[in-house]
Each structure stands twice: as structure tokens, then as C-alpha cells.
Structure 1
Amino acid sequence: MKPKHKRAFSTRAERSGKAASHGADAERAEHVRTRVRLMIEITARAGSYRKGLVKAAERLSPEEAMILADLEAHGLQVPQFRDVLRGGHVLVDDPQLYEKWRHSKGSHPRLSSHHRDIDKKLYPDIGMHGQVVREKLHGRTAQGTWVQLEKTPAAFGGPKLPRPSDLRHLMDYVVYKLTDSNVGPWGLSRMTERRPLYLAPVLAVPTSLSPPIARSLTQALRRIEANDDVTAASQELAARFPPPDRPDLAGELGQALSARAGRGLFGNSDVWVTQTPSRTAAAVLRESRAAPAADGWATGGSS
């Protein structure tokens, strides 16, 4: 039989470990919330939204932040983020997101008409209310997960009686039929289920080139590289410093960048940075231009 003091020590250690783990989880959740709030503030600078987006971002819940951060982790860029906030229909090639979001706090089964080819008894559509997402709705596809933000929730077909929000949802449906645009919490989006926004689509299939095509492609790449060498510097210098000889130029086209390749989070967004000029930095730059010559060096003329 173990001594009581050892069991007490073990219990205190376990409680301390759980508290440390909980603190680390809370710190990570707050980091995600801060990042998503900054994304919302940035995208709110360009484009039109319904009023109140930035105010709602201040009350962003950890569950909302997790969903939006998961989309960003799957390649969502700031220009696409606008469509998400406006109710764009998003397809993600990751079925694990369905289960992850299904079990998040505040999630509940929902009825919807999206993706009717999926067994709704096995994979029911899931809703969740939030300050920014208003009403998040997501479900399964054959290969992944879909998600869409709605302006107003609906409870049609359930045991509850119709509510005022159901009537507003019907009005949103009328707007959808008239404009062919989804009605999201912060605007309208043309990204509907028939024209969805794809994230991380599995489209790249590795394949080998036949020898004649590989030779022709290599010759074309060498011509392009030679022209680049001539235009990047004088023809004499280009001849003196040839580029490294790489035997397989065509093979380099199939090499993918590590981690998240592509244009990055901001992509081709209309985002700009504004900041107040630093008077200290300006003073230092002015002094460096008028700095006296060092000893032993002439500033001009002949010595």
C-alpha cells in the first residue's frame, strides 16, 4: 500500500500539470482569436460590408476563431475572406474538419438543402451561432467539408414552432433567388453551392513526361533562361558568367515549395499599410547623407 503523502504529492502534481495544460490551451486560443480579429480588421479596410463587422470582431468567440483560422490554414486568403464573411459557399478537401467543428462548443444539428447526395442521418448538417459568423452552417461532402455563414438561422422541419428568424430567413431566400447571391452576415456573395469557393483542392496528380516532350520542354526552358541572362546584364557579362548547368530543367517544374506555397495570406488583396513617419529615422537618414568623409579618404577631386 502506497503512503498517503506520496498519493497527495501525485495528486498535486496532476492538478498542476492539468492547470499548466489548460493555461497553454487558453494562451493558444487567445493567440488564434487575436490573429483572426486582425484579419477581419484588415479585410474591412477594403470592400463594403454591413455595419458592425469590426465591433462584432471584438466579441469573437474562440469557437468562431477556430473555424475561420482552420479555413486560413487550408489556404484562405484575405480577398477570399470577404466572400466567406458575405456568405460564400466554401468547399474544403478535408473531411476531418466536419468532425472537428461538429463537436465544438455551441454546435447543434441543423436542417438544410445543401448537398442532398450526402446521408444526413450519418452526417447531419451542423449549425453554430456567433457574433461574427452569425449562423455558421457546415456539413460533409463526398470528399471533404463544406461551410457557409448565414445572416439568419432557420429551424424549419424541427419540433419547434416557426420563429421571427424563420421569416427573415425566408426573406434572405427571396434575395438569393432575385440576385443569385448568398445572403451572408456581412453582405452578399456570388459564391453559391453551384459556384463554390474551393480551398486546398486535390487537383495535382504527378505524372511522367514522355522523352520527346521532356526534350522539347528542356530546350524551351534553356532558350528562356538564355534570353533572361542576356536581358538581365550586358551580353559580355552574360557570356563570362554562365548559369549553373542543371541536367533536368523540366523536372524542376514539378518541385513544390515546402509548407504553404503560393501567394500567401494576402494574395492579390487591396490591402495597404499606413503609418506615421518616424522623425528619428528621418533625422538619422539626413545625417548619414551629410556625414563627413572618413580620415584618409577624399570626397572629390584629386589628391
Structure 2
Amino acid sequence: MERKHPLAGWRSGHSGRTGAAAEEAAAAARQAEQVRDRVRLTIEITARAGAYRKGLLAAVGRLSPEEAVIVADLEQHGLQVPQLHDVLCGGHVLVDDPALYEKWRAAKGSHPRLSSHHRDIDKARYPDIGMRGHVVREKLHGRTATGTWVQLEKTPAAFGGSKMPSVDDLRHLMDYVVYRFTGSNVGPWGLSRMTERRPMYLSPIVAVPTSLTPPVARSLTRALRRIEESDDVTAVSQQLAARFPPPDREDLAGELGQALSDRGGRGLFGNSEVWITQTPSRTAAAVLRGRSDQASAGTVWPTGGPR
């Protein structure tokens, strides 16, 4: 009778768990690389139309995963390509999502920072957090009463404590002088008029959910059904429309309170100067031209007239 080592089963299970952890780590690494590639491409696109300081594209090539997450999270909250210009140029951004503060606070390289932004917040409980990078230079973020704020700075600073002022601190003071004279934030790659007094607002909380009383809900449902029945303009004829009625939904009034899911809205390239520069396919153009010629020529009757 073969006797198994008492640790054989433990080793097998341990190796299985190790393999699963390795697969999860590999999947996370692939996802991080995809996010980084997406952000790189987005910045390269906006760099074609906007004016930036020299060196942006070179810095994009060294974009870190932590920097990419900042831009990707803002994009998930409605940031569009034209707005990315202001973000890279130091625009002050407000997002009504407190979870972003904790997520960015836990990122690699994050450290507490002193700043004069949003003084109404308890800085002992919610300290401002900085993070350095090739593209963001110095990312600074903190809490607001309803969410998170973030701003990219050209020069990091470390005022306070027992540290002596450094060269970066002096450069930061020069950036402040520029702000006082121009009224624009000094970001890594330019100037932005989106200051704390005139911020860029993403995902604002503009609605308060509320419930309808039963009589109002019934009356509203009846009105919505009448509108739906008399407003079918998708079919060629009313007879055909009657054969294919719309889906029978139980709670029409409840649909009015549903918000757009995830990235509902105009999307990443909404209101941006992005267009197609590639010429159409020659084969497709020939087919469409042939159909157009046939339609314009009409029907040619044979000699002797129609039969």
C-alpha cells in the first residue's frame, strides 16, 4: 500500500491557489496595459488640435499605469477629448464621486500634500494627496463636500514642516505669480482658465430621487400609454404598425426616473474636432456609382412600347 506524504494535498491545493493568483495578476496587468494604451491614444489625438508645451508626446511614451488611471477615471465620469486639453493644462476638475478620493489616495506613489484648495474640508481627515508622473507632473487631488477634486500642476511643492524651501518650491511660487497676473492655472502643458472659482464639473449631482404618490403614478401611466399608442411613427403604415405593437411595459412612470447608465451622454469624442481623413473604398464607391447610374437612367422600354 502506497503511503502519501501528509503535505501532498496541501501542496497541491497551495499550487492551485498560486496558479489562480498568477492568472489574476496577469489579467490585471493586461487590463492596465490596455488602459494605458487607450489613454496614450486619447492624448495623442487631442495633441493634434490643441496647443501644448513641447515634450508632451515624449512624456506620453513614458506614461505610468497610475497616471493612466487618473485620466481613464475622469473619462468614465464624462470627460471628453476637448476637455482633456484643460485637464493637461492644469484645469481644476470637480467630480461628485467621493470614491475617487480613496481610490487615487491608495495609488502607488501617492503622498500627503499641503495646498490652499477647498479650505472648508477637514484636512486632518481628508488630506490633499499628490502624485508625480511624466505626464501629470504633479497630480493633486482632495475631497469636496460632495465628491473629489483634482488638478495637475507644472511644478510640485512641499511647503510646510521642517523642510527648507527647494528649487521646486521657488518655481511653484513663480507659477503662482503667473496665476495672479493671468487668472489661469499653470499646468504641466499649458495654462487653463478652469480655476477653483470656475471649475470643470463632471458628473454633477443635479437631481434628487423622489417617489410618486399612487394616484399621480396611475394618472401619469395612463397618459404615457395614450402617447405611446398614438405616437408610433416608425412603420410605413398604421396597419403594419398595429401588427407589431411596442413592448408592454408594466411601469412606464418608473422609467422616467431612470438615469443614463455608466457613460451615457455624448461620449468621449462628443463636441470634438475629430473626423475621418481616410478615403472611401474604391470598390464600394464603384458599386454605389453603378446603382446611382441605374436609378438615374430609368427603365428603357423595348421597341414597340410596353406589352
8 Å CA contact retained: 2:53, 2:189: yes
Deviation at 1:277, TM superposition (A): 4.4
User: Residue 188 of structure 2 aligns to which amino acid in structure 1?
Assistant: P
User: Residue 272 of structure 2 aligns to which amino acid in structure 1?
Assistant: S
Among residues 123, 148, 154, which one is paired with 1:145 in the alignment?
148
> Counterpart of 2:94 in 1: which secondary structure?
strand
1:200 aligns with 2:184: no
Q: What do the CA deviations read for 1:169-199 (whole angstroms, capped 9, x no partner)?
A: 1111011001100000111111101111111
Among residues 26, 34, 37, which one is paired with 2:40 in the alignment?
37
Q: Which residue number corresponds to residue 269 of structure 2?
A: 266
8 Å CA contact retained: 1:87, 1:149: yes
8 Å CA contact retained: 2:76, 2:262: no
Give distance in 1, aligned partners of 2:183 and 2:149.
19
> Counterpart of 2:48 in 1: which secondary structure?
coil
8 Å CA contact retained: 1:134, 1:149: yes
8 Å CA contact retained: 1:43, 1:271: no
Alignment of 1:149-168 (within 5 A): 149-168=152-171
Deviation at 1:93, TM superposition (A): 0.7
Q: How many residues align?
A: 287
1:57 aligns with 2:22: no
Deviation at 1:290, TM superposition (A): 7.5
CA gap of 1:156–1:75, structure 2 versus 1, over 3 A, is same
Give distance in 2, aligned partners of 1:183 and 1:85.
10
Alignment of 1:1-303 (within 5 A): 3-206=6-209, 256-282=259-285, 285=288, 300-301=300-301, 302=306
Give distance in 2, aligned partners of 1:132 and 1:90.
17
TM-score, structure 1 normalization: 0.80
Give distance in 1, aligned partners of 2:53 and 2:29.
31
Question: For structure 2, which runs of at least 5 residues remain unmatched after alignment?
Answer: none
Deviation at 1:124, TM superposition (A): 1.0
Give distance in 1, aligned partners of 2:232 and 2:99.
47
Give distance in 2, aligned partners of 1:150 and 1:6.
55
Pairwise CA RMSD of aligned residues? 3.6
8 Å CA contact retained: 2:232, 2:241: no
Identity %: 70
> Counterpart of 2:275 in 1: which secondary structure?
coil
Give distance in 1, aligned partners of 2:54 and 2:232.
53
Give distance in 1, aligned partners of 2:207 and 2:85.
26
User: Residue 300 of structure 2 aligns to which amino acid in structure 1?
Assistant: G
Deviation at 1:84, TM superposition (A): 0.7
Question: For structure 1, which runs of at least 5 residues remain unmatched after alignment?
Answer: 292-297
Q: What do the CA deviations read for 1:230-285 (whole angstroms, capped 9, x no partner)?
A: 9x9xxxx89x98999xxx99998665444432211112112223225444544555
